[in-house]
Amino acid sequence: MSWIAVGALALVAVLVPLSMLAVSWLLRPSVPEDSKRATYESGEIPTGGTRIRFNIQYYMVALLFVVFDVETVLILPWTVVYQSAIEQVGLARALVPMLVFVGILVVGLVWAWRNGAVKWARSTRVEDRSRKIEQ
């Protein structure tokens, strides 16, 4: 009997998005224009090639952020139950796994730091300005 509720929920989960798509398809305005097929609908004329060089530094910073953000998500619940964990399993069994986890993260951060993942590349404008100031 409890599976009926799960089935009804699954049915609603499928029917609501499908009905929203159907209603939006029926109500949307249809104005066929050639400019809609253009690369930029805003009327901007594309210039240059499609292949541009993108600094990998942005991806590295984003990946490091994700890693340390996940670390925060994993450490927070541990800090909440730390006191009761010490009472139940003892200090070593409660503390050592988290120290190993944080140690692995510190090793990863040191590795990233030494490989220059957190070092920002300076633009030529900034370097030119700093040279002018020094002169």
d(CA 73, CA 103): 16
pLDDT for position 29: 84
In the chain, domain spans:
57-134
> Cβ contacts of residue 46 below 8 Å, gap of 6+?
39, 40
Which pLDDT tens digit goes with each residue over 109-118?
A: 888 888 877 7
- Kindly indicate the confidence band of residue 42, based on its pLDDT and cuts at 50, 70 and 90: low
pLDDT for position 126: 63
Greater pLDDT, 12 or 82: 12
User: Token pair 């050639």 is at which residue?
Assistant: 34
Are 105 and 99 within 8 A, CB to CB? no
pLDDT for position 40: 66
- Kindly indicate the confidence band of residue 122, based on its pLDDT and cuts at 50, 70 and 90: low
Which pLDDT tens digit goes with each residue over 65-83?
A: 888 888 888 888 888 888 8
* Mean pLDDT rounded to a whole number for the chain: 82
pLDDT for position 124: 65
Are 118 and 112 within 8 A, CB to CB? yes
pLDDT for position 20: 96
